[in-house]
Amino acid sequence: MGFVNPMFLAFLVLIPALVALYFIKSQPVRQTVSSNRLWAAVSQRLRENSLFQRYRNSILLMLQILAVILATLGMAQPFGRVAYSGRSVLVIDLSASMASTDLEPTRFAAARAAAKALIREHRGEEDIALVSMDATCRLEVPFGSVPGLVSSRLEALRPTDLPGPPVRDLAMMLTGLATQKVERVFLFTDQVPPDGLQEKLGGGLYVKVHYFGTEDRNVAVSRFAFDEDPAGGGILSATITSYGKDSAPVEVSVLHEGKSLHRETVQVLGKENAAWKHALTTAPKGLYEMKVTSAADRLAADSSARLLIGATSTRIAVISRNPAAILRLLDKVEGIEATGHTPQDLAGNEPIADLYILDGVSHPDLCRRQALIFLAEGDPHLTSGPSRPAGAISRALWTHPLMKYVSLEGLTFEGLRPLKPGSGDVEVVGAAGGPLITVRTDGDTRQVLCSFGLDGTNLGARVTFPILVLNAVKWLGRRDLAGGRSHRVGHPYPLPAHWTGELELTAPDQTVTKITPQRRDLPGSSLSAVGSHRLRWKEEERVIPVNLEDFGESRIEPASRTAVELGKAGAAGAPVPRTYWKPFILLALLLLFLEWGLYCKLGG
């Protein structure tokens, strides 16, 4: 507690003056009277009266002194804690890097403590809204909530293993909040770039960003994969990355179904990626888990990776007027579950698969998925215009995995459909008339686009066709067909078509959740933690190995500043000291009134 105007405390010198005056006035005046007989009777009656009568003079002095003290304190304007008025939004980062342990116990714990301290500096929690952010921004508690709800919700939050939201999405959310008469936003994060946010906000809102984190050291494992050897066994591979300038030995351990399979120590220099491989003479099916531990490790989420070998098959949906032809090619391939569908089957009932083969079928949704597409008229990948002669095959990217063991000899193509170019396009096979086979990568989605229909070529009749299809399936699936499956954290997980109704999901921390998916996939928010999730539907169970694959979250380099202010200069609604002068002044006036009343009643 302090005083806004401490100089008024000088008025306290009035107190000794009052006391001195009291004693001066209290000096008796000598008065000769005829006789003290009557005054003795008066004195006797006074003694018989109340205590107040005896001490009334002292009581008046006390009231005066108290009034002076209170009035002085009131004028000095004591203030307690500073308090914010108006609406504030607290945005707390729940992304994976907030679980870094460079701040004990974690950056998130430090951020939450700072947020709680800020809550205490507000007059009431009803003026605070709580927003959490990881891959998306969510309103946890709106304005006008009951007291204590913000604090309790804040206490219940935990960091996820998801990456942070794009700055654009965060800026949009904050800009939207400005319409709710928000005075200020407090952002608790470790890595949101202030410049990017400033640019997006345009100065329309006051935002104070509190940064957390002290180190950039971290060891991560990524790209945990299994390369199957057709002769048996295969090679486990991964990338071990050491972030930060310090390096330390990294202990690597591999487990199969929870049992130790391999251990070693690798040295990874700071800021470098080390490629790691381990050969397996046999690769039994099941869950493989790789863990890296190091003194330089600051984030647990990226220190392990898991993949499933052979436990499940790749589901392929073949949509064609005659799916049987392609189904026969895939029938004997291990690790594939292929289903065939005609265009009529699609009406409102798209099959759920890991990837699709569209043969001469145009579907607005399926065309955008992981697919091998023999483009048909009307496909959105095509530009308007008629087909044109392909001409002879003139170029091929033989190094592409798609071309492994593929032979182009003797292939003819009648017509070449005009492909709409894309930014991630790589021409694998081209002819004089244009690209014949193009691979397209759009974010996580891969597509193999064939600018022809199978009915306009002799490819389907050649030996190389199934090789091409299998290569495409492998490339599309980014894993060997025998398994080696992992799932990216926060991404929706496609469910088998026959799994309807309630599912039971067991998270890596063994918490069990019952989910009834509204769509044909498990929402990404259900898989926001790395580790092995178990999904059960009736008697069937699947293991979903979830990994943190966003390298950005593995790089936990903190911001260079602990706090940044963006937006309006001068910070609208800065905390103001909560002064308490009114009760002091009112009480002083009340005491003076009481003293005056007593004084008048007692004859002044």
Partner 1 sequence: MLDLTQTGFLKSLRRLRIMTRRSFRGQKIGSRKTSEKGASVDFKDYKEYNPGDDPRFIDWNVYSRLEKILVKVFHSEEDVNVYVLLDSSQSMMTGSPSKFDHARRIAAGIAYLATTGSDRCRITTFGEGIVEHSVHADRPGQAMSLLRFLEKAKSGGGSEFARTVDEFLLRYKRRGVVFVISDFLGEEPVTEALRKLRYQKYDVNLVQVLSPDDLSPTWQGMYELVDSEDESVKKLFIDQGTLNLYQQVVEEMTREMEGFARQYAMRFIQTSSAETFENAVLRLFGIRRATAS
Q: Give 38 or 563: the residue with its C-beta nearer to partner 1.
A: 38
Q: Is 567 left (phi over 0), alpha (psi -120 to 50) or beta?
A: left
Q: Judged by CB under 8 A, which of 40, 392, 586, 590 binds partner 1?
A: 40
Query: Please, are residues 243 and 224 in contact by the beta-carbon 8 Å criterion?
Result: no
User: Rounded to an integer, what is the distance from CA 529 to the centroid of its chain?
Assistant: 11
Query: Please, are residues 304 and 238 in contact by the beta-carbon 8 Å criterion?
Result: no
603 binding partner 1? (CB under 8 A): yes
Closest CA to 343 of 325, 327, 328, 364: 364
Listed ranges 50-58, 259-267, 269-277, 358-366: which one lies at the site for partner 1 (CB under 8 A): 50-58
Closest CA to 139 of 179, 174, 95: 174
Q: In this structure, what token pair is assigned to residue 387?
A: 């087909």
Residues 6 or more apart whose Cβ sits within 8 Å of residue 428: 396, 397, 400, 402, 403, 437, 438, 439, 448
In the bound complex, what is the minimum distance in angstroms from residue 584's beta carbon to partner 1? 30
Q: Give 28 or 443: the residue with its C-beta nearer to partner 1.
A: 28
In the bound complex, what is the minimum distance in angstroms from residue 582's beta carbon to partner 1? 34
Q: In this structure, what token pair is assigned to residue 448?
A: 């193999």
36 binding partner 1? (CB under 8 A): yes
Closest CA to 556 of 162, 217, 230: 217
In the bound complex, what is the minimum distance in angstroms from residue 591's beta carbon to partner 1? 20
Q: Give 48 or 365: the residue with its C-beta nearer to partner 1.
A: 48
- As a whole number of angstroms, the distance between CA 75 and CA 78 comes to 8
45 binding partner 1? (CB under 8 A): yes
Radius of gyration of the chain (CA): 39
Listed ranges 26-34, 93-101, 181-189, 310-318: which one lies at the site for partner 1 (CB under 8 A): 26-34
Listed ranges 24-32, 136-144, 472-480, 515-523: which one lies at the site for partner 1 (CB under 8 A): 24-32
Q: Judged by CB under 8 A, which of 1, 7, 28, 501 binds partner 1?
A: 28
Which position has the token pair 């940044």? 564
Q: Give 40 or 279: the residue with its C-beta nearer to partner 1.
A: 40
| Phi, psi torsion values for 339, nearest 5 degrees | -130, 145
In the bound complex, what is the minimum distance in angstroms from residue 589's beta carbon to partner 1? 24
50 binding partner 1? (CB under 8 A): no
Q: Judged by CB under 8 A, which of 1, 7, 34, 383 binds partner 1?
A: 34
Q: Helix 51-76 crosses helix 581-601 at what angle (to 10 degrees)?
A: 150
48 binding partner 1? (CB under 8 A): no
Q: Judged by CB under 8 A, which of 1, 29, 51, 231 binds partner 1?
A: 29
Q: Give 23 or 405: the residue with its C-beta nearer to partner 1.
A: 23
Cα angle, residue 160 at apex, residues 155 and 166 outer, rounded to 5°: 110
- As a whole number of angstroms, the distance between CA 520 and CA 375 comes to 26
21 binding partner 1? (CB under 8 A): no
Q: In this structure, what token pair is assigned to residue 417?
A: 């459909």
Alpha carbon distance, N-terminus to C-terminus of the chain: 39
Q: Give 45 or 561: the residue with its C-beta nearer to partner 1.
A: 45
| Total residues binding partner 1 (CB under 8 A) | 27
33 binding partner 1? (CB under 8 A): yes
26 binding partner 1? (CB under 8 A): yes
423 binding partner 1? (CB under 8 A): no
37 binding partner 1? (CB under 8 A): yes
Burial of 241 (0-12, 13-18, 19+ CB in 10 A): buried
Q: Judged by CB under 8 A, which of 4, 16, 19, 53 binds partner 1?
A: 53
Q: In this structure, what token pair is assigned to residue 162?
A: 């998801």
Listed ranges 25-33, 251-259, 347-355, 514-522: which one lies at the site for partner 1 (CB under 8 A): 25-33
> What is the binding site for partner 1 (CB under 8 A)?
25-43, 45-46, 53, 56-57, 602-604
